[in-house]
Amino acid sequence: MVLPAWIVDLDGVVYRGSEVLPGAVEFFERAQSRGDPVVVVSNNSAPTVEEYVARLGRMGIRIGPRQVVSSALAAAQFLARRRLRGPVMAIGEAGLLQALGEAGLEVVAPDGAPASPKVEAVVVGIDRRFTYDRLTAACQAIRAGALFVGTNPDVTVPAEGGRLRPGCGSLLAAVSTCSGVQPVVVGKPHPPIMELAMERLGVGAAGARHEVIVVGDRLDTDIRAAKALGLKGALVLTGVTSRTDAGGGVRPDWIFDDLQHLTDALMGG
């Protein structure tokens, strides 16, 4: 019997800002009762793993730290495996800074960067305190030869009431424009974050027993990431993609109004 294993996006799928989306709690309860492996995978590098776990817990969703994969963790793993000799300049929030530190990387802040030692890499995540000075520091370091790494390409992120806010991709565009260098991106739809998610799922050794399904609200990241790995993709319409948008580009295997409809259709509702 082939069992499903789930890679589930968060923003626009499970929640939108502080709003819990329809069917989210039931999906995780049903997966747990069935014994389906689940990891949540977010391109948002701002929260720490502990913050993700606590936030979901307040929404009535219980997951463990090993079930959380963020673009911050993917960036930290990517850079740690390169065995850099010098420090890493980090533009981002607590989740990115913590992940880099726990990976054993020396981290320097972009503030006051002219007095900092030469950095080997500049990693840029979402940063709600992004300033002209931080942009200048990143630009100068990259022009001096530092590797430019971006946590994710999302130019917007969904917020309450259907609104959109600027995402990491908007900051990457600014840094890329002034430095003249395109970043290496580790978040969806690129391989590093998905490889980490598959490791956490633990389905590799028993791949024949599992059918991995990627659940997301974006064609350009979630569904594209699924198709790049030969996985099934389920699109939900509670985030940035409308049913009209879903008619072109990368094709999902399923389209659902929300997680409630997905749970009913794919998990024996």
Give the type of residue at 75: A
Give the type of residue at 245: D
The C-alpha atoms of residue 1 and residue 4 are separated, in whole angstroms, by 10
SS3 223: helix
Beta pairing class for 88-91 and 156-158: unpaired
Beta pairing class for 156-158 and 164-166: antiparallel
**Phi, psi (degrees; rounded to nearest 5) at 69:** -130, 120
Of 9, 127, 154, 220, the active-site residue reads 9
The C-alpha atoms of residue 92 and residue 108 are separated, in whole angstroms, by 11
Half-sphere exposure of 75 (CA within 13 A, CB side): 39
DSSP 8-state symbol, 202:
T
The C-alpha atoms of residue 166 and residue 188 are separated, in whole angstroms, by 17
Half-sphere exposure of 157 (CA within 13 A, CB side): 24
Based on the residue annotation, tell me whether 11 is a catalytic residue of this protein: yes
Contact between 5 and 210 under an 8 Å Cβ cutoff? The reply is yes
Report residue 148 as tokens.
């430019």
Active site residues: 9, 11
